[in-house]
Amino acid sequence: MTHQNRIQSTIERARDGTPLRDPRRVEPKYSLPRAYGHFRDLLKDKEETSHVFKIFEALPSRSFMPRVRALTLSEQGEQLRADEPFLPPILDDHEALRRLPKGSVAQAYCDFMEREGLSAAGLVAEADKLGRPKYGDLVEWFGYRSRDTHDLMHILTGYGRDGLGEQCVLLFTHGQSPSHGHLLIGYAGALNIKQSVKSKAPVYRACRQAQRTGAACPPLVGISIRELLAKGLEQVRAELNIPEPHWYRECHRIWREEGIDPYDLLAKDQEPNQAKAA
């Protein structure tokens, strides 16, 4: 962001007076070595999601502020902030979500989160571990909303929480909101899978399909999540141009044929083709 743009962003405000960008915000500095260091730490413990946030901080996207401005200062953005100021309380109210129709996005979301032992509040807690200051500006609202729709992306795309599934969701997200952080984690993670697991599984094809799907899908950050949750899952996938993740499913099929557990790809006791050998 240029000095002039930075000054302009502090002047721009929503109708209720909320600033686009608080002038106290420190402009992030691009550092690929710092991002890669956090990526290596993430490979050691993929559940330590604080490294993901640090990677994105080290690789700021030039298109981020234009996207924030386009949504938050629009009529649609104003309406979303009024109706959905903060998503976690909505997403974690499973009692209310369970009252929505069978086959809805809400039902699939609750099934997924309960099965995986996850919550939207848990993701917030991981981000809060970084101790970053809070500004209450439109950048913050946009960033929170982008973060809090992550698990919904798993539901809508059909990608699981296995190693490849997480890479695919990140690359789907890159298609929605391009950043070097998504590319680094997504494709470096795919490379790690290819190098660690000797297999014929088309890992890169799965990743490229995910990225293309994200680019073809309207950005979820600008969609009413309340309305989306109430709709049928298959209806939403059709409306948002989200196809069946064919190459991801094909990877799982091949891995299982080779005796490899897709949800434990890096298990040391796994050997390709062990199932056939048995």
What gap in Å lies between CA 203 and CA 165, rounded to an integer?
10
What gap in Å lies between CA 31 and CA 195, rounded to an integer?
25
What gap in Å lies between CA 26 and CA 132, rounded to an integer?
11
SS3 19: strand
Say which DSSP state 261 is in: -
Say which DSSP state 183 is in: H
SS3 47: coil
pTM: 0.86
For residue 19, list its beta bridge partners: 13
* b/e map 209-247, b = 16+ CB within 10 Å: bbbebbeebebbbbbebeebbebbbeebbeebebeebeb
**Average pLDDT in the chain:** 90
For the chain, the farthest-separated pair of C-alpha atoms sits apart, in whole angstroms, at: 68
pLDDT digits (tens, 9 = 90+) for 227-276: 999 999 999 999 999 999 999 999 999 999 999 999 998 664 444 443 33
Residue type at 220 in one-letter notation: L
Give the containing element (helix H, strand E) for 267.
Answer: none
Per the CB < 8 A criterion, the answer to whether 9 and 64 are in contact is no
Query: Which pair of tokens denotes residue 9?
Result: 């962003």
Instruction: Determine the average pLDDT of the residues in 51-61.
Output: 86
What gap in Å lies between CA 127 and CA 120, rounded to an integer?
11
Q: H-type helices in 99-179, by residue range?
A: 105-116, 120-128, 138-148, 150-157, 163-176
pLDDT digits (tens, 9 = 90+) for 73-105: 999 999 999 999 999 999 999 999 999 999 999
Give the pLDDT band of residue 45 (cuts 50, 70, 90): confident
SS3 159: coil
Instruction: Determine the average pLDDT of the residues in 175-189.
Output: 90
What gap in Å lies between CA 91 and CA 198, rounded to an integer?
39
